[in-house]
Amino acid sequence: MGDVTAILLAAGLSRRMGERNKLLLPINGVPMIRYMVEVYRAVTQRPILVVTGHQSDAIEDSLAGCDVRLIFNSDFADGQQTSVACGLRVAKDGAQILIGLGDQPRLTGDNLRALLKAHKAADPARISIPKIGDQRGNPIVVPSNLRERVLADPKSAGCKAFTRKYPERVQFHALSAHGFYTDVDTPDAYDALVSQNLGDAT
C-alpha cells in the first residue's frame, strides 16, 4: 500500500449514544476504538495517530499496549474539524494520509486496501472519498501535498469543508462496502451490531 499515515478521530462527545461513550463499547471483546486501531493496522506499519478529546483518559487506557500516538485536542468540543486539524498537524510526512472515524467497526482491512488502491490508480494528488449514490463515506485519503492547503484556512480546516470549497481537488470512488457508510452513533446502531455478533450485549 506504500507509505500511509493513518489518523483516527476519537475525540467526539458521543451525545447520541446517551450516557455511554460509543468508542468504549465492546466490539469482538475489545473497546471499539481499539478494534478500529487493529483494522487500520492492516494498511500501515507506522504508529496510528489517535486524536482524543472527550473522556481522553478512558480512551487512552483502552489503547494501552497498542502501537499508537495519542494526540489530545483541547478544542474537541468545537467540532470534528478541530480534530482533523490536530491530526494533520502531526502527520507531517507520508505520501498518503488516511483520515478515519473511530466508530466504523464494519470496516475491514480489505475495504481500506480497496480505497488506497483506487486512490493510487486515479490521481494520487487529489483527495479520495468513497461514494455510493449521493452518500459520501469514510475514511478519506489526503495526499501529503494538500496537507498544508487543508490547514491553511481555519474555516475549512475540516476536510468536509475543504472538499466542498475546492471540488477540483477531490475525486470520488464507487466503493460499495457498507463499512464505508456505516457508523455507530446511537444505541439502536450498536444493538444492530450485537444482533450480528460483532458487538457485546453484556
Query: HEC states along 99-112?
Result: EEECCCCCCCHHHH
pTM of the model: 0.92
Is 186's pLDDT higher than 70? yes
More confident site: 40 or 82: 40
**Would you state the cell numbers that stand for residue 154, as one nine-digit string?**
481555519
* Beta-strand relationship, 4-10 and 96-101: parallel
**Would you state the cell numbers that stand for residue 188, as one nine-digit string?**
439502536
More confident site: 69 or 157: 69
φ, ψ for residue 84 (rounded to 5)? -60, -45
pLDDT of the residue at 1: 52
pLDDT tens string 27-56: 999 999 999 999 999 999 999 999 999 999
Residue of 136, 138, 197, 143 lying closest to 8 (CA atoms):
138
pLDDT tens string 139-158: 999 999 898 888 887 655 56
Is 134's pLDDT higher than 90? yes
Please report which confidence band the pLDDT of residue 202 belongs to, taking 50, 70 and 90 as the band edges.
Answer: very low
Can you tell me the mean pLDDT for 103-122?
97
Is 200's pLDDT higher than 70? no
Can you tell me the mean pLDDT for 88-116?
92
What angle is formed at CA 13 by the lines to CA 10 and CA 17, rounded to 5 degrees?
100
Q: How far is CA 178 from the centre of its chain?
A: 15
Mean pLDDT of the chain: 90
Q: 124-143 b/e with 16+ CB inside 10 Å = b?
A: bebbbbbbbeeebbbbbbbb
- Residue 124 near residue 143, CB atoms below 8 Å: yes
Please report which confidence band the pLDDT of residue 173 belongs to, taking 50, 70 and 90 as the band edges.
Answer: very high
CA max distance for the chain: 48
pLDDT of the residue at 197: 67
**3-class DSSP state of 30:** strand
Is 160's pLDDT higher than 80? no
In 49-184, which residue ranges form alpha helices assigned H by DSSP? Answer: 56-62, 80-90, 109-121, 147-152, 159-165
Phi-psi region of 131 (alpha: psi -120 to 50; beta: other; left: phi over 0): beta
